[in-house]
Amino acid sequence: SGALFFAAVDLGASSGRVMVGTAGPGTLRLREAHRFPNRPVRVGGTLYWDVLALYRGVLDGLRAAGRLLPGPGRLASVGIDSWAVDHGLLDASGTLLGNPVHYRDGRTAGAAERAAAVMPAEELYAATGLQHQPFNTLHQLLAARGTPVLAAARHLLLIPDLIAYWLTGEMGTELTNASTTQLVDPRTGDWSRPVAEAFGVDLSLFPPLRRPGDPAGELSAEVLRECGLTGPVPVTAVGSHDTASAVAAVPAQGRGDGRFAYVATGTWSLAGVELDAPVLTEASRAANFTNELGVDGTVRHLRNVMGLWPLQECLRAWESGAGGRGPRLETLLRRAAKAPPLRSVVDAGDPGFLAPGRMPERVAEACRRTGQPVPRDPAETVRCVLDSLALAHRRAVADARRLSDREVAVVHLVGGGARNELLCRLTADACGLPVVAGPAEAAALGNVLVQARAAGALHGGLAGLRSLVRSTQPLRHHGPMGDRDAWRRAEAAVCG
């Protein structure tokens, strides 16, 4: 048949995957070809991504994708998305200079103060619309200033652009991800030269910008051979920031005017609304809301909330404490669902939770510090973490409404967190709004949708792409229930 097959490479903080998607009018299907762990490595005090292991996972995934094609089929294209802000530095010959540093590495401690000494925070926000996060690329570059590696660098490639370069030999900078560097003006969708100049960042490190849907080269002969694929296989720029791809696949009605908020939940929860223009007000800055660029000229006005990271880290701690036989997540979630609600809540936005390690103890310490009961067992810890996350969703959705002057009638919860029923239910209760949960693989779907449209298999704008997601993907609906006042009281306790 004439069906086209697209490979979506989606790299997350805890695992990477390569999916094969088929898309056309009335059709949208995704199959997992390969999934591999993403395990950062600490060396000599620095936390790195194991970027070659990730690249090997991508190659293994493309080989597996080829085997899923019917008969002698050909991949119609490949798209790549990952987490934001991180990058590789390359020399003039295109050789990677050292391993990309993980955004959770401590080198950016004190970033806010260092940046404020160069440009007042208000001015930086007015120019870039980006929330303050210590790991923004701009802060990483400040932290690297004066190092031999940065001095030797002639190219800077964000992670998906680095993978694309290795696959194709062509360099580019995809715009949605570039908008997380804090070097882009969200009003123009171009580099902010005044900011780059003030911070001494050499913008010529960045190869030319490309937009979701733009061509990004072809798999090299070497890669085709390695993966047993038949060429030519083009690479297409997608919303290479995973959150941009995930929000493109939110099964909402329309563009941002459709009275919906989204919560893209994985290692992070990105909670907010979609707009046509950035909100650069002082109130938005004070609330630490960001304006990241999305697919089709949209703006994601959202807050970064510590997502499932504390839960993932608790599981890792229990696992290693029990010699690899920690409690199973399903069991914990079942018990957590029956644990007393809102017994204690922590501030899921507290940067104190950013670094890895000792998470159950850190959650307990946060409860103790704020005069709340300390969780008595892992199930209560899980309940505390999920209640806290749902509360943070409530605050972010309410703040997004206020700051952008939007009506919100429904919350779409997408990403891996959509598989967590308890979290979806708590989010509905906390927000006092209906929650539509799914798809869990929103980033990979958004990646496929943009490729399919670029290849001519789909037509139209975001509203059309989204209605295809709505009509083809299984979704769960959660109405708000429970005690509204309890969430209000919990919010007051956490926010003072």
The answer, yes or no, to whether the previous bond of 439 is cis (omega within 30 of 0) is: yes
Q: Which C-beta is closer to ligand LFR: that of 258 or that of 307?
A: 307
Considering only 268, 289, 309, 353, the residue that binds ligand LFR (CB under 6 A) is 268
Q: Which of residues 434-493 bind ligand LFR (CB under 6 A)?
A: none
Q: Which of residues 270-289 bind ligand LFR (CB under 6 A)?
A: 270
Question: Residue 165 in contact with residue 245, Cβ under 8 Å?
Answer: no
Q: Which C-beta is closer to ligand LFR: that of 3 or that of 109?
A: 109
Count of positions on this chain that bind ligand LFR (CB under 6 A): 12
- DSSP category for residue 455: T
Amino acid at 373: P
- Residue 71 burial (CB count, 10 A): 4
Q: Which C-beta is closer to ligand LFR: that of 164 or that of 364?
A: 164
Any residues with CB less than 8 A from the CB of 485 and at least 6 apart, and which? none
Q: Is 315 in the site for ligand LFR (CB under 6 A)?
A: no
The per-type count for the chain, helices as H runs and strands as E runs, is 19, 21
Alpha carbons 196 and 213: distance in angstroms, whole number: 27
173-174/209-210 β-pairing: parallel
Beta strand ranges found along 113-226 (DSSP E): 155-158, 173-174, 184-185, 190-191, 209-210, 215-218
Q: Which C-beta is closer to ligand LFR: that of 28 or that of 85?
A: 85
Longest Cα–Cα distance in the chain: 64
Site map for ligand LFR, 222-261, x if CB under 6 A? -------------------xxx------------------
Q: Which of residues 61-100 bind ligand LFR (CB under 6 A)?
A: 83-85
215-218/234-236 β-pairing: antiparallel
Show the CA angle centred on residue 127, arms to residues 126 and 133, nearest 5°.
Answer: 80
Minimum Å distance from CB 246 to ligand LFR?
A: 8
Question: Residue 171 in contact with residue 154, Cβ under 8 Å?
Answer: no
Q: Which of residues 379-398 bind ligand LFR (CB under 6 A)?
A: none
Q: Which C-beta is closer to ligand LFR: that of 105 or that of 380?
A: 105
Q: Which of 81, 105, 161, 242 is catalytic?
A: 242
Q: Which C-beta is closer to ligand LFR: that of 35 or that of 470?
A: 35
Which three-class secondary structure state does DSSP give residue 21? strand
Q: Which C-beta is closer to ligand LFR: that of 182 or that of 372?
A: 182
Q: Which of residues 101-120 bind ligand LFR (CB under 6 A)?
A: 103
Q: Is 175 in the site for ligand LFR (CB under 6 A)?
A: no
Q: Is 174 in the site for ligand LFR (CB under 6 A)?
A: no
| C-alpha to C-alpha distances, 261 to 152, 225, 251, 286, 491, nearest whole angstrom | 44, 44, 11, 20, 19
| Alpha-helix residue ranges (DSSP H) falling in 343-377 | 359-369
Instruction: Work out the angle between the directed axes of helices 329-338 and 421-431 (0-180°, nearest 10).
Output: 30
Q: Is 140 in the site for ligand LFR (CB under 6 A)?
A: no
Annotated active-site residue 387? The verdict is no
Minimum Å distance from CB 414 to ligand LFR?
A: 12
Minimum Å distance from CB 151 to ligand LFR?
A: 25
Minimum Å distance from CB 135 to ligand LFR?
A: 7
Annotated catalytic residues are: 242
Query: What are the residues binding ligand LFR (CB under 6 A)?
Result: 83-85, 103, 241-243, 266-268, 270, 304
